[in-house]
A and B are shown apart, each in its own frame.
Chain A
């Protein structure tokens, strides 16, 4: 990790990059504000505490909430982080500022189009809506501009990735024998994973959903669009998580007063995510009737392997933080915890995010188990789970990271540390209430994605406490979370309006305890890892996709579905390959 040149600040060394990052953060934070407001309305509505909207509009807001938070906020923010990480770790500006603005512009245009389509659903007689939720697969159908906006957004992220690869290529020419700096390595591996996985959703949107919503084709194969969505829908969770990991590995140890334990281990973890995050998407489809059980079993096995890099991360990050605490004079088995810089909202926020992620990991294992998944599938347990992961491990890390990153790109000091600290703690407490109650409600069978989960002549039962308490906890937690977002936005706004400072924040990052020198160079062979990742994807998806096309009535649906078997897909692949071979043979002979 290169040290800052001459002690000058990021915004002075890289003014163009700082502008790009500020723009990305701005859009991320606006989306966060709107999305959190929708979240509050949902939390109060479905618990029947306060109903300000018509239940029919619930899905419009829920779509806005999911898209603006899980797609727009997270991805815009991570693009800012990646732009920062590449410039600082390669110690060079992007190749072309104009190109950088091009991806920011394209992603922003896409966001505006998709958001207009979604919010159009609130205006009667407009004839425009996109109440398809953030998973947007058929048979739900949105206005074409929703899909077009989405496609523009994704192409924008591709260009952003190209921007960072171009920087890397230019750097490589000047440094032919050096190891890839860790932060850039993390960005590049994440982007390779993103390219592989967005291919699926791009095919789904461009070939099926856009033509279908324009009326150019009559029907689609719904299971195919679902499967293509989840082909991308699992890797996207790592697209959210890896920037958080980047901050945990390279920034959190410094904030704790120490340094990263092992650079090579961090590289191994990112490679494992590159390899393993795509061939598991079917674990979201355990209840889909059109996919044979055998494929689901394979997806489950792959998923359990993903625990490995997650646990490696937990151990490395905790070890690095403990090292920091001991540098600060911490002692004992657990007493060192007290020596950590809890007053610093950037540190505390990331540490709390990590703690909640551990809980999210445990509930995730329940989701991943093929049989136990049936217990919680489509219940409120699932939002309970992912508000710990993307909603806290990622979102809270991003907010906490902002307290350290935003001053670097604005050149102004953080407006208030105490408010920042209060904010991250409020998020933690709010999420404990909301997420825990959601998990419990899910165990009681309360469904997700429902405006009024209150039924006549039917009572949900809980083993301990009451459904009423759970409702109150969800509403209370949601309110605290919303207030926390308000505090965050207010603090960041006042920070950016503050006076320029010579030293807005201590942005120096120390070298890891164990550097990359001793590790095998093959870790840096990105082309090879990309190849292996692609092979794994082909192995995991060829037969299931062939089966879905065969059994689900063809590429565009319409035919009569037949029961799913492993052999159906195999037949299709076999006939396709034989006929291709025969044609080839005919040409050659």
Chain B
């Protein structure tokens, strides 16, 4: 499936609640995640998405 701009935006949107509550989820497993770790994880996710978009995104072919 092609990673369109719209799909990428949706994935970013849904990553926000996950990131915000990541520390709570980690807490269930007695892992104390510092805020900075959450920021890094979210940043890595965005970077990954960026790369995928470059590889499979709308630009790689005519816009869907």
Say which one of A150-158, A427-435, A536-544 lies at the interface with B: A427-435
Fill in one digit per residue for A427-470: 1 if any B CB lies within 8 Å of its CB, else 0: 01100110010000000000000000000000000011100010
The answer on a CB contact under 8 Å between A436 and B20 is yes
0/1 interface trace, chain B 5-18, chain A, CB 8 Å (1 if under): 11101101100110
* B54 at the binding interface (Cβ < 8 Å): no
B17:A436 contact, CB within 8 angstroms: yes
A429 engages B27 (CB within 8 Å): no
| Of the residues B7, B12, B17, B24, contact of A464 by C-beta under 8 Å | B24
Q: Are B20 and A473 in contact (CB under 8 A)?
A: yes
Residues of B within 8 A of A433 (CB): 16, 20
Contact B13 A465 (CB under 8 A): no
Given contacts A335-B1, A465-B35, A469-B35, contact A429 B16 (CB under 8 A): yes
Instruction: Decide if B6 touches A421 in the complex (CB within 8 Å).
Output: yes
Closest A residue, CB atoms, query B27? A464
Provide a sorted-by-A list of 23 A–B residue pairs whose CB atoms are within 8 angstroms.
Answer: A335-B1, A338-B1, A339-B1, A342-B9, A342-B10, A343-B4, A343-B6, A348-B10, A352-B13, A418-B5, A421-B6, A421-B9, A425-B9, A425-B13, A429-B13, A429-B16, A432-B20, A433-B16, A436-B20, A436-B21, A463-B27, A464-B23, A464-B27
A363 → chain B closest CB, angstroms? 13
Count residues on chain A whose CB falls below 8 Å from chain B CBs: 21
Interface check A422, CB cutoff 8 A: yes
CB-based contact A342/B20 at 8 Å = no
Nearest-CB residue, chain B, relative to A345:
B6
Question: In the complex, are the beta carbons of B6 and A432 less than 8 A apart?
Answer: no
B residues within 8 A CB of A429?
Answer: 12-13, 16
Closest Cβ of chain B to A183, distance in Å, is 29
Determine the distance from Cα of A421 to Cα of B8 in the docked complex, in whole angstroms. 12
Min CB distance A570 to B, Å, is 47
In whole angstroms, how far apart are the Cα atoms of A338 and B27 in the complex? 31
Q: Is the CB of B6 within 8 A of A342?
A: yes
Select which of B4, B17, B23, B27 is within 8 A of A342 by beta carbon.
Answer: B4
Residues of A within 8 A of B23 (CB): 464-465
Given A339-B1, A425-B12: 7 more A-B contacts, CB < 8 Å: A338-B7, A342-B7, A342-B9, A343-B5, A348-B10, A425-B9, A432-B16
Residue of B nearest to A356 (CB): B17
* In the complex, chain A residues whose CB is within 8 Å of the CB of B16: 429, 432-433
Tell me if B10 and A425 are in contact (CB < 8 A): yes
Q: How far is the CA of A343 from the CA of B2 in the complex (A)?
A: 13
Q: Which residue of B lies closest to A421 (CB)?
A: B6
Give the interface centre of A338, A436, A464, A465 by most chain B CB atoms within 10 Å: A464
Q: Specify which chain A residues have a CB less than 8 angstroms from the CB of B10 in the assembled complex.
A: 342, 348, 425
Say whether B13 contacts A428, CB under 8 Å: yes
Cβ contacts under 8 Å, A432 to chain B:
16-17, 20
Report the bound CA distance from A66 to B5 in whole Å: 35
The CA-CA distance from A348 to B20 in the complex, in Å, is 22
CA A429 to CA B6, docked complex, whole Å: 15
Q: B20 contacts which chain A residues (CB < 8 A)?
A: 432-433, 436, 473
CB of B4 to closest CB in A, whole Å? 7
Residues of A within 8 Å of B6, CB to CB, are: 342-343, 348, 421
Give Cα A418 to B9, complex, Å. 11
Q: Which residue of A lies closest to B32 (CB)?
A: A464
**Nearest residue in B to A465 (C-beta to C-beta)?**
B23
Report chain B residues within 8 Å CB of A428: 13
| Bound form: Cα–Cα A338–B23 in Å | 28
CB distance from B13 to the nearest CB of A (A): 5
User: What is the CA–CA distance of A421 and B5 in the complex, to the nearest angstrom?
Assistant: 10
**Chain A residues numbered 328-374 whose CB sits less than 8 Å from any CB in chain B:** 335, 338-339, 342-343, 348, 352
Smallest distance from the beta carbon of A433 to chain B beta carbons, Å?
7
- Cβ-closest chain B residue relative to A355: B14
Docked pose: A421 CA to B1 CA in angstroms: 20
Q: When chains A and B are docked, how far (Å) is the Cα of A432 from the Cα of B1? A: 27
Q: Residues of A contacting B1 with CB < 8 Å?
A: 335, 338-339
Please measure, in the bound complex, the distance between the C-alpha atom of A469 and the C-alpha atom of B20, giving whole angstroms.
11
Name the interface residues of A295-347: CB closer than 8 Å to any CB of B: 335, 338-339, 342-343
| CB interface residues, B 37-57, toward A, < 8 Å | none
The 5 closest A-B CB pairs, nearest first, are: A342-B6, A343-B6, A432-B17, A425-B13, A338-B1
For residue B22, give the distance in angstroms from its CB to the closest CB of chain A. 10
Separation of A335 and B4 alpha carbons in the complex (Å):
15
- Looking at the assembled complex, report how far the CB atom of B7 sits from the nearest CB atom of chain A, in whole angstroms: 6
Most chain A beta-carbon contacts within 10 A, residue among B10, B12, B21 = B10
